[in-house]
Amino acid sequence: MSATYVLGGFQTDFARNWSREGLGLADITAAAAHGAMADAGIEPGQVGVGHVGNFAAEVYCGQGHLGGLLVEAHEAFVGLPTSRHESACASGSVSVLAAMADLEAGRYDCALVVGVEQMRTKATFESQQALGAAAWVPRETEGVDYPWPQLFSDLGDEYERRFGLDQAHLAALQRMCFDNARRNPNAQTRGWSFDDRSFDPDDEHNPVVAGRIRRQDCSQVTDGAAAVVLVSEGFCRRTGRTTDGLPKIAGWGHRTARMALADKLAAANGSPYVFPQVRQAIGDAFERAGVGAVDELDAIETHDCFSTTHYMAIDHFGLTPPGESWRAIEDGTVAFDGSCPINASGGLTGCGHPVGATGVRMLADSARQVTGDAGGYQIEGARRVATLNIGGSATTTVCFVVECAQ
């Protein structure tokens, strides 16, 4: 495939509550779009096509037709072809895939991708109920107060049934992400404080949300956006830019499994992996990028909507044999100073999870890592980073491999 380069990227401050400021989706979208273009060093008139990733603006804000909101970000965008993409928590990554397809087809040579969500418009219970729309309604949601904590508790139960699962390992992953978030100036939880009891099975300090999922096992409800400017090699030639040293999307994988978690788990009987489709998406990205094994990566940004999905990603990337993710936690492989750090940004747990923005934010962070521009959360020597973004109960899975072009 023809190369796609990340010319620039931007993330809003995920700690902001835009509703309290009297601002809405149009404001968040514009902030990310302008930030990414400034980082890329381009003018709005150079953008050929726009793609927006968003899950539930209609539910949270009563707003649809988000491609039109992107056009409102600058007068030069009037007439710009735009599209909105929805794939639950993988909406951002799917919007990136669509932009890549535009560039590879030669329709355009410069694409602006914005992932955006404004979620802090509802109380916690209402918000969790709204997010249930990404599950199979009503089969997986009827009579369930917190659909996603319950479903990802079920994922933990499947690990327990197959391999055994120590809750202390899940708590260690979450503590690690919150610690990493302190290094990230845009992380939602960068100023939060915890004590030992915050991660213990303590019903007062870390209460149960659903099943085995406790408060600190969960990612955040977040307002925010992330944006990237993607360009082809032709754009670089046309504008007199060199591709040397630019972050490049070297490989991608995209798989869709059955909708209901129970059906996915039943279909995985006989597979060494709990989510074969996740393993396949990672394998597809590795193959396209020429990555022979996970030890050729320097870091991973993964989808830790809950501690159980973080745990799942470790063995599905091949850092350990299936069911033995605990080994990479205990030996420090996935720690910030380990051989393959996971979620140096803080991840969804620490950085925040504006649903439609997450896949774009992961890509932007990976691009920063491979160019040495990640600031306080820079991984020393990072040259190749993978992302894993899932929608629903890993119904949609997207993986990217990002590396620094030579």
Secondary structure in 3-state letters for 249-298: EEEEEEEECCCCHHHHHHHCCCCCCCCHHHHHHHHHHHHHHCCCCHHHCC
Boundaries of domain holding 27: 4-122+222-238
* Calpha distance 273→325 (Å, rounded): 12
Answer left, alpha or beta for residue 143, where phi above 0 means left and psi between -120 and 50 means alpha. left
Question: 247 phi and psi, to 5 degrees?
Answer: -70, 135
**Is the four-CA dihedral 275, 281, 286, 292 of positive or negative sign?**
positive
Which tokens belong to 337? 């100073």
The neighbouring-strand residues paired with 252 are 400
In a domain, 20, yes or no: yes
342, HSE (Cβ side, Cα atoms, 13 Å): 30
In a domain, 372, yes or no: no
Parallel, antiparallel or unpaired: strands 110-118 and 223-232: antiparallel
Picking from 74, 180, 72, 52, the residue whose alpha carbon sits closest to that of residue 118 is: 52
Residue 60's domain is classified under what CATH number? Answer: 3.40.47.10
Which tokens belong to 282? 């990672």
The neighbouring-strand residues paired with 225 are 116
In a domain, 397, yes or no: no
* Calpha distance 364→92 (Å, rounded): 11
* Calpha distance 389→304 (Å, rounded): 9
In a domain, 318, yes or no: no
Mean pLDDT for the chain? Answer: 97
Chain-centre distance for alpha carbon 54 = 12
Q: DSSP letter for 378, please.
A: P
In a domain, 65, yes or no: yes
The number of distinct structural domains making up the chain is 1
In a domain, 156, yes or no: no
pLDDT tens for the chain, residues 1 to 406: 689 999 999 999 999 999 999 999 999 999 999 999 999 999 999 999 999 999 999 999 999 999 999 999 999 999 999 999 999 999 999 999 999 999 999 999 999 999 999 999 988 778 888 889 999 999 999 999 999 999 999 999 999 999 999 999 999 999 999 999 999 999 999 999 999 899 999 999 999 999 999 999 999 999 999 999 999 999 999 999 999 999 999 999 999 999 999 999 999 999 999 999 999 999 999 999 999 999 999 999 999 999 999 999 999 999 999 999 999 999 999 999 999 999 999 999 999 999 999 999 999 999 999 999 999 999 999 999 999 999 999 999 999 999 997 7
* Calpha distance 291→304 (Å, rounded): 23
In a domain, 54, yes or no: yes
Which tokens belong to 95? 């919007």
228, HSE (Cβ side, Cα atoms, 13 Å): 29
* Calpha distance 40→8 (Å, rounded): 4
Which tokens belong to 341? 């750090």
* Calpha distance 256→259 (Å, rounded): 9
* Calpha distance 250→387 (Å, rounded): 12
Residues 82 and 52: beta-carbon distance below 8 Å: yes
